[in-house]
Structure 1
């Protein structure tokens, strides 16, 4: 019997947290949530499976910005303070007049916070990346490299120097962080356009993963669709996302996470309590956000933890049955070829949006490990199994909801791109004008390059488009453009503001080994 392959890809990215004396709640909350709801529970799950000798494999994409924050003592100390505030808040809640169900859920959340604190400080010594490297060495994880910041590559194809800089700094960060050579490269938002394969392949990358329409709308659609690998003209292997697998889990209508028995994470007390009730956690005037304290299921009734876990178990069985049926049907038409279903999910989806998501994932991995005709695989392993590989020219696409880039360039945020484009042109000019400078001028040019890379991040236009803290996103974007412009003008005038440079270096201590000259390539 043909062995069916499941390939899980989890990507983790949140906007960078400036290292300022007063850290904005809006700026820091996504990073804290990534640790509390996603990374720490995910590693706990992996530890359990590994201890019990249950085989599991998955692909991880951790953005360089997240890696830099995980290595930053400032961000780690801020996270510990965040946990302590939430633990104290939970203890205070338990002294109030709560119903038995509310008390049980408050204790559950407090205990999870305590485990996060114990693991982060005690078990991992504030070094999560070391644990990730451990699993990668055991070949449980395959780590894909990605660009320095989440830049939408198709927008900058007419500026190859800019894309070269994104690649160089992304790969440099990967080599500094992880104890392996990357075989795969992740395009942010899976944004791909014809010709980008040549750029990636020139850096020694073997494969990438693309959105399904990049495969299916290719010049010669592959005979095996997204269920097998293909290759581009440059020799870059490409795998296609199984849209059905992802839709089973995260589709807004009918996805597993919408089941009425699951915890309604949208009904968080962070959106319901008054300003006084939340003052111990954050300033409501800066915007409300989730706290993790939720008490209702999606059907409006009191949430029952055991019912939620049981539903996660059933959904794990449904997921495996659906993938098995799809792969069996595809195999019946494809003459015995080894087939693969690529399921791609944001790590932030688990816990924060789908509270029971980690229960579901662990159940899926346990059940697949017990099967004879299905297994979890890694891209490099699967590519060795493919006997016949078709050459294609993938189509322009992304995994944004529109399938292309409507969310990045519309009436709400189209004022951003011309400024970024001009800044990139000026950065290329600076790199060509000052090819051999050292000392203070080199530091200044590196800071200018940093500002351009951060301004290219998709975080800002996406936040403005989705109306998620749009004022903050616009402010951050303008801050990076203004900082770059100040450097550009100071270099033209022949004087550099040393105090301002030192201040920015403290606020953005990322990519310490910056080399602005990459913008001249």
Structure 2
């Protein structure tokens, strides 16, 4: 639904907040429980469910907000996976049980017991929202708010593949983009108008792939527009047309710094909850054993009793009331600074009115920054008030109602460290890419060689599973983890496992010796993209099909 933007004399400028929600595909039915699945459960509890709560309250209060949310295909798939839904309920119940135990344990520590009771209410609210209000379907919640026209939903590449480094093969890039859009359409019934480039990774020519996929706009980092082929008339405060009708919006550095900066950003305030202080690491091992990994490996439980305080000395106890008051204060500061920014821009920009692009990882809000969802709600409420000269806007609506943008080609760029690709290709992870490129080439050749042949259902299944394995191996999360040095062993294993699965399937198909039992096991483990078609690796324009008998498939 397109919402009308105000006339330029009603408001002085626009603010577009974009949240990008993404997690790698982490699902392990071969194990009873798996540590990395907690990444999803923690994000659901601390970010996605609280965000839905924000949207529900705004809707109930008839607040005229605008917000854009990018949902990655891997996240969408996990949120609707029955196994993960069942495991999430078990996770929530275990957290409730731990909160109850904490209320008893802290009975002689009233300040701590207050927090234990807060966590019990928090987990109970999550359970009620998840199970009773939305019957375990969080995508239905987002779809409900999208229908109001106030929430704009977009998506990203299939497995969040880092497109500039996959561009050795245009087919690889196209399949990441097209499979991502197809997954969005399968879940929401329509194609998105916008597209989040993984890690905001852009290279000249990518706009052609996006245009062919029906995308109207995407996002780049600041220098993607400031370094464009033509000097931008309005800096990063208006989109540019890439020359084919696809618009590029650039991140505003000022609004980003206020939230992201480790030194100046709001989340570092001493009053906010300390993410790294968790009872999973602090309490007696025997007591906490039922709530950690395999009863012995300490992990986050989500129950945290301390505030940031500072770099030195013991952390002081967390005070939720002070933290929420600080979040409102920071929201007011954020809006005030956007107003001052728009006032400055108004002196140099008449048409179009400036639009400030503020993109963030969704998981920052609530998960890393516990009070972040409250801050976001306050920002959306404040910006909707007539007393402010800041008007919230979606990029799709902005494009429909503003003059044609300046034509220019953005510069190659990402929002990663140093602004280019160094975080995704370096001494820690550069070994991945020759293997990825080889698998992609072999997948394309395989699809080309079987083109025109009568394939059995088993062969088709194997070819589709091989295509899934390629996409899963291409996820940008694995080189990112290898560089950041967190769960290195897991990232290594994910890359090598998916490539090994592809190689096995490739050889089995070539030799026409497909083990159906093993294929079924792979389909159960990697059950993403149910409508994938391996033929997309050799589209009709790719060339002439081979003569019958050239390939050993019966």
TM-score greater than 0.5 by the shorter chain: yes
Q: 2:340 aligns with which of 318, 325, 336?
A: 325
Asked if residue 188 in structure 1 is aligned to residue 185 in structure 2, the reply is: no
Does the 8 A contact of 2:279 with 2:301 survive in 1? yes
User: Structure 1 stretch 207-216 or stretch 447-456: which is displaced more?
Assistant: 207-216
Q: Deviation string for 1:100-137 (max 9, x for gaps)?
A: 11111111111111111111111001111111111111
CA gap 1:293/1:486 in 2 versus in 1, 3 angstroms = same
Q: 1:431 aligns with which of 447, 471, 475?
A: 447
Q: Which residue of 2 aligns with 1:47?
A: 56
Q: 2:213 aligns with which of 179, 182, 203?
A: 203
Q: Which residue of 1 aligns with 2:88?
A: 79
Asked if residue 494 in structure 1 is aligned to residue 512 in structure 2, the reply is: yes
Does the 8 A contact of 2:15 with 2:390 survive in 1? yes
CA gap 1:286/1:407 in 2 versus in 1, 3 angstroms = farther
Partner Cα separation in structure 1 for residue 296 and residue 480 of structure 2: 19
Tell me the CA shift for residue 145 of structure 1: 2.6
Q: Deviation string for 1:2-38 (max 9, x for gaps)?
A: 4321101011111112241425533201110121011
Partner Cα separation in structure 2 for residue 324 and residue 101 of structure 1: 39
Written as runs of structure 1 = structure 2, the 5 A alignment for 1:72-471 is 72-98=81-107, 99-283=109-293, 288-299=298-309, 300-372=315-387, 373-435=389-451, 436=453, 437-471=455-489
Does the 8 A contact of 1:218 with 1:395 survive in 2? yes
Any unmatched runs of 5+ in structure 1?
none
Asked if residue 505 in structure 1 is aligned to residue 505 in structure 2, the reply is: no
Does the 8 A contact of 1:275 with 1:284 survive in 2? no
Q: Deviation string for 1:298-323 (max 9, x for gaps)?
A: 11222111110111111001101111
Root-mean-square deviation (CA), in Å?
1.5
Tell me the CA shift for residue 438 of structure 1: 4.0
User: Normalized against structure 2, the TM-score is what?
Assistant: 0.91
Indicate the SS of the match to 2:489.
Answer: helix
Partner Cα separation in structure 2 for residue 475 and residue 286 of structure 1: 22
Does the 8 A contact of 2:168 with 2:437 survive in 1? no
Q: Deviation string for 1:183-232 (max 9, x for gaps)?
A: 11111111000110011111221111111110011121211111111101
Tell me the CA shift for residue 285 of structure 1: 8.2
Partner Cα separation in structure 1 for residue 189 and residue 438 of structure 2: 37
Partner Cα separation in structure 2 for residue 94 and residue 302 of structure 1: 16
Q: Deviation string for 1:374-401 (max 9, x for gaps)?
A: 2211111111343252111101111112
Partner Cα separation in structure 2 for residue 248 and residue 413 of structure 1: 31
Q: Which residue of 1 aligns with 2:550?
A: none
Does the 8 A contact of 1:168 with 1:518 survive in 2? no
CA gap 1:387/1:283 in 2 versus in 1, 3 angstroms = same
Does the 8 A contact of 2:134 with 2:141 survive in 1? yes
CA gap 1:329/1:181 in 2 versus in 1, 3 angstroms = same
Q: Deviation string for 1:379-429 (max 9, x for gaps)?
A: 111113432521111011111123111111111111111111111111111
Does the 8 A contact of 1:12 with 1:62 survive in 2? yes
Indicate the SS of the match to 2:419.
Answer: coil
Tell me the CA shift for residue 286 of structure 1: 8.0
Partner Cα separation in structure 1 for residue 101 and residue 407 of structure 2: 62
Does the 8 A contact of 2:224 with 2:411 survive in 1? yes
Indicate the SS of the match to 1:5.
Answer: strand
Tell me the CA shift for residue 290 of structure 1: 2.2
Partner Cα separation in structure 1 for residue 534 and residue 429 of structure 2: 28
Tell me the CA shift for residue 443 of structure 1: 0.3
Written as runs of structure 1 = structure 2, the 5 A alignment for 1:46-65 is 46-65=55-74
Does the 8 A contact of 1:26 with 1:286 survive in 2? no
Indicate the SS of the match to 1:8.
Answer: strand
Indicate the SS of the match to 1:226.
Answer: coil
Q: Which residue of 1 aligns with 2:543?
A: none
